[in-house]
Structure 1
Amino acid sequence: MLLNRLCCFVVVSLSVLGCSDPDPIQRISGPAQGSTFMVSYWSEQQVDKAALEQKLKQELDRIDQLMSNYRPDSVIEGFNAQQSAEPVEVGTELVQLVQIAREVSAHSQGCYDLTIKPFFELWGFRGDKLTKPSDEQIAETKALIGLDKVKTVSHSQLAKTQASLRIDVSSIAQGYTVAQLAKLMDQAGIENYLVEVGGELISRGRKPEQKQWRIAIEKPLPDSQTLQKIIAVEQTQPLAIMTSGTYRHFYDEAGVRYSHVLDGRTGAPVTHHTVSTTILIPDATWADAWSTAFLCLGSEQGLPLADKLKLPVLFIDQQGSSFVEKPSQALTEALASKQAFSFVE
């Protein structure tokens, strides 16, 4: 299975609500990547559900074999185990994901980085106890990581200049998985679907009777599951909705909360007050990377970047016991037009 996410993804589908009986929406679900997946769809044309389910699960298994950081026999772990600067054949998909991550990392000035797993181990976030490292330990670890130490040799080969460097693609692979499952739906001639993997999702078309797909975003509270927003998808073209949050995984020690979201620039947990970020764009792979990057940056640094890149992003900051929503300019404009999506009050 793919590495459990460093952030908590909190998008919940409401697609099953409001359907007539018998329900024309078909569903395929099961375990996937340390979490679950669900594909909801309907079609006026006959669909071989059993054959479709087999293809979806085969694709999940294929991606797991390619990108899982928990499987020593995966392609990505084969690259991580390589202790030299020699090129490694990893396939075009991993090269593509690294390139996307490289661009997002550059825009975030290194806050988002696929190579920061050693920092999590340094802080003890893989165990049950927080271990605060010294400044010297952080500096020593920082010298050993960085996407600049990963070289793209060809369209299917990667190499590293630091032998111990490891790549963790969990912050982008789930979005890629969503996109790949959606591609299978397209190939099957299905034009109305909602694909969800571990809370990350993409929609296309409509529900029966031209009803909108509706997606709920959780209120960023650690001990409850209540709604913060409901998104009604207005457009029929694909729309990926990705949410990242800090509020499920953290340590409290001596009155200080340490988030599991680490800043690649400092090697330390983020200290801002942003607890949730949601991005709504057509490409699920980019959306996954961006939702994590914006959560790392927080609203103070992330909002100007979202505005510069014209990305529709919703930041939610916690101020005491209250939550303050901070939309990017592109999100505000999209909501005003009501052509792509809208918020249901």
Structure 2
Amino acid sequence: MFAAGKYIVLFLLPLVCFFFGKPDLREYTIKGYAQGTDYTIKYFAADSIVTKGAVDRILSVIDSSMSLYKPYSLICRFNAADDGLQLDPHFVKVMRRSFEIYKDTRGKFDATVQPLVQAWGFGAKSITKFPDSAEVKQLLACVGMHHLSLKGNYLKKSKSCIKVDLNGIAQGYSVDVIADYLNSKGIKSYVVEIGGELRMKGPKPDGTSLRIGIEGPAISADAEPVIRHVISINNGAITTAGNYRKYLQKGAKKIAHLIDPKTGYPLDNALISVTIYAKDAITADGYDSPIMAMGLEEALDFVNAKKGMEAYIIYHKKDGSVADTLTNGFRKMIVN
């Protein structure tokens, strides 16, 4: 289960009239539950060449590799090990990308944040109290991807207390695996969505682009979240990291589920949510949370320096009001 580690705030617009083009092609929809959340797959083909059973089997294999909620999973076995473990191909691919993003974000993305995530109440086990400063300091000694090394398919840790949490990237990887499976079946138009994280390929049979609704926080605390923008794209992935839905309460204070691996504390900055567009879901998913840990200008500069990446950011202004901003490339995707 990956959804508990991060709440995604994308809303997939109904694809009514999505597949009304050529008479020999039909719309097929698969819905299910995996990795602690719902999934929806829509594709266009002459026959039902992709089945729910096939999708569930793929996701089950990934769960057996990287789910912290499956005690038999490979990631749980690694976390319990003193030294290291041989990984399967799924785990290896995600760890390689994790090392790249860790380096690129200067540690703002860190797969070893699991002890902190658990201590703050967002892990697989329930807690009775939040950690104090002494406990946070102690836990930080067991955090840092510099304590890990990957040689071939062997992941080694320099401290036995190092534990890995891939909730911030593994669901995006899962989306890509399903999308690649659809590609292998020769499917030319589809949307794969797991827990709000999407990858799509188009255009629609009538030649128009796919449309996706981007959800953001409501204007007032008692109102429902709203669709902020509708974007139109043909190929790529969209994921969102945000703090306004997934949190715990400590008195009057909300404890955000995104943990800063450098300080050991939940994020408490101006950014409310970050929506990332990238060529694949593992990239968008891997970067959205660490970008949440940046300041607004730093986040915009970081994304603008990335080829093929765009961002839409919702944030608190200094007076407490809610505002949003976006990169030029993201602006071009918005449907007026």
- Give me the TM-score of the superposition, normalised by structure 2: 0.89
Residues 227-248 of structure 1: CA deviation (Å, up to 9, x unaligned): 1111111x3xx31011111101
Residues 1:343 and 2:325 are matched in the alignment: no
Which shifted more, 299-308 or 224-233? 299-308
Question: CA–CA distance in 1 between the matches of 2:19 and 2:197?
Answer: 26
Residues 1:230 and 2:227 are matched in the alignment: no
Do the aligned residues in 1 keep the contact of 2:62 with 2:90 (CA within 8 Å)?
Answer: no
Which shifted more, 18-27 or 267-276? 18-27
Q: Which residue of 1 aligns with 2:306?
A: 309
Q: Which residue of 1 aligns with 2:36?
A: 34
Question: CA–CA distance in 1 between the matches of 2:311 and 2:155?
Answer: 32
Do the aligned residues in 1 keep the contact of 2:41 with 2:191 (CA within 8 Å)?
Answer: yes
Q: Which residue of 2 aligns with 1:140?
A: 138
Question: CA–CA distance in 1 between the matches of 2:325 and 2:108?
Answer: 20
Q: Secondary structure at the match of 2:41?
A: strand
Residues 95-136 of structure 1: CA deviation (Å, up to 9, x unaligned): 2211211221222222221111211333344547652412x3
Quote how far apart the aligned CAs of 1:142 are: 0.7
Quote how far apart the aligned CAs of 1:6 are: 3.0
Structure 1 residues 96-175: aligned runs within 5 Å: 96-126=93-123, 127=126, 131-134=130-133, 136-154=134-152, 156-175=153-172
Cα separation, partners in 2 of 1:168 and 1:128, compared to 1, 3 Å? closer
Residues 264-301 of structure 1: CA deviation (Å, up to 9, x unaligned): 01001112111110111112111110111112324243
Q: Secondary structure at the match of 1:210?
A: coil
Cα separation, partners in 2 of 1:18 and 1:226, compared to 1, 3 Å? farther
Do the aligned residues in 2 keep the contact of 1:192 with 1:207 (CA within 8 Å)?
Answer: yes
Cα separation, partners in 2 of 1:149 and 1:187, compared to 1, 3 Å? same
Do the aligned residues in 2 keep the contact of 1:14 with 1:213 (CA within 8 Å)?
Answer: no
CA RMSD of aligned residues (A): 2.3
Q: Which residue of 2 aligns with 1:332?
A: 328
Structure 1 residues 162-311: aligned runs within 5 Å: 162-221=159-218, 224-233=224-233, 235=234, 238-310=235-307, 311=309
Q: Which residue of 1 aligns with 2:65?
A: 66
Do the aligned residues in 2 keep the contact of 1:15 with 1:213 (CA within 8 Å)?
Answer: no
Question: CA–CA distance in 2 between the matches of 1:39 and 1:20?
Answer: 13
Give the one of 71, 88, 93 matched to 1:91. Answer: 88
Quote how far apart the aligned CAs of 1:168 are: 1.0
Do the aligned residues in 2 keep the contact of 1:8 with 1:247 (CA within 8 Å)?
Answer: no
Quote how far apart the aligned CAs of 1:37 are: 0.9
Question: CA–CA distance in 2 between the matches of 1:121 and 1:294?
Answer: 21
- Give me the TM-score of the superposition, normalised by structure 1: 0.87
**Matched residue pairs, number?**
326
Which shifted more, 240-249 or 88-97? 88-97
Do the aligned residues in 2 keep the contact of 1:220 with 1:245 (CA within 8 Å)?
Answer: no
Which shifted more, 3-12 or 62-71? 3-12
Cα separation, partners in 2 of 1:197 and 1:210, compared to 1, 3 Å? same
Gaps of 5+ in 1: 337-341
Aligned amino acid, residue 16 of structure 1: L
Question: CA–CA distance in 2 between the matches of 1:92 and 1:141?
Answer: 29
Quote how far apart the aligned CAs of 1:14 are: 1.4
Do the aligned residues in 2 keep the contact of 1:144 with 1:165 (CA within 8 Å)?
Answer: yes
Gaps of 5+ in 2: none
Which shifted more, 266-275 or 19-28? 19-28
